[in-house]
Structure 1
Amino acid sequence: MTDEHEQAAQEAIASEMRLLDPAVRASAEAVRALLDPAFTEIGASGRLWDATSILTVTGSGSVAPDSPVRVSEMTAAVLAPGLVHLTYFSDNGGRRARRSSLWRLTGTGWRLYFHQGTLTS
């Protein structure tokens, strides 16, 4: 991986980790700053979310400050300049999911364009 690709991968990972932070999730403004206006998510439940509807989940205390989401096996692939694909496992209080995120670089920084979660045992 080139230095430029490594930097893009690390910035996308850092952005993903910020989005999982309970303090960030509690702030609609902070979450909105990390979501692309065209953001979509296929949730682990199978529900389709957009940037507006996902704010109801992130602001509802879905990640407790005393029990943050645990992340493992994070990998990053730079698909094109300014486009990074992340995959990882998450564990939120025993609810484990395989996750996939597409981050793209915009004029305002790295923004989450697409996310999918699939429950796993």
Structure 2
Amino acid sequence: MWEPDSQAFAPVKAAELALLSSAVRQDDDELSRLLSTDFSEIGRWGRRWTAAELAESLRREAPREVPQTSEWLFNRLSPELVLVNYRIHGSPDDSRHTSLWEVPDLVLRFHQGTFISES
């Protein structure tokens, strides 16, 4: 069952927001701690990324502000897995993001971002 943002999911939300920050995105040790060794991402343009490919790309990313987010929802799939869904407000387009987190260790197994069409 999907649940709104609550204290029960605060550590998962904090880890997700940390991954949106340049400080974490360019810190190999932090990325290694947060991303599963078999992590996979489907990017907003449809590209599939592994943990190693993503880390290499993020190393080259220009520093940026943490984007504004909203519409957070959480779904506890099992005692060890939480599915997260939220919206990033960006320029020029907003996007919706979904992540699968292992808890309580806070390890990200999967992430997908999808642009939101205005139509």
- Given the two structures, how large is their TM-score scaled by the length of structure 1? 0.82
Q: Could you tell me how far apart the structure 2 residues matched to 1:95 and 1:57 are?
A: 21
Give structure 2 stretches of 5+ with no counterpart: none
* Structure 1 match to 2:81: 83
Question: CA offsets per residue over residues 45-100 of structure 1, 9 Å max, x none?
Answer: 10000110011222222551xx3211111111111101001001113443421100
The 5 Å alignment of 1:4-23 reads 7=8, 9-23=9-23
| Sequence identity (%) | 32
| Superposed CA RMSD | 2.1
Question: In the comparison of the two structures, how many residue pairs are matched?
Answer: 113
Structure 2 CA distance for aligned equivalents of residues 83 and 30 of structure 1: 20
Distance 2:89 2:58 in 1: 16
Question: Amino acid of the residue matched to residue 78 of structure 2?
Answer: A
Q: Which moved more, 1:21-30 or 1:38-47?
A: 21-30
How far 1:112 sits from its partner (Å)? 0.5
Cα distance change of structure 1 residues 82 and 68 upon mapping to structure 2, 3 Å threshold: same
Q: Residue 62 and residue 120 in structure 1: after superposition, are their counterparts in 2 closer, same or farther (change >3 A)?
A: farther
Report the secondary structure of 1:94's partner residue: coil
Normalized against structure 2, the TM-score is what? 0.83
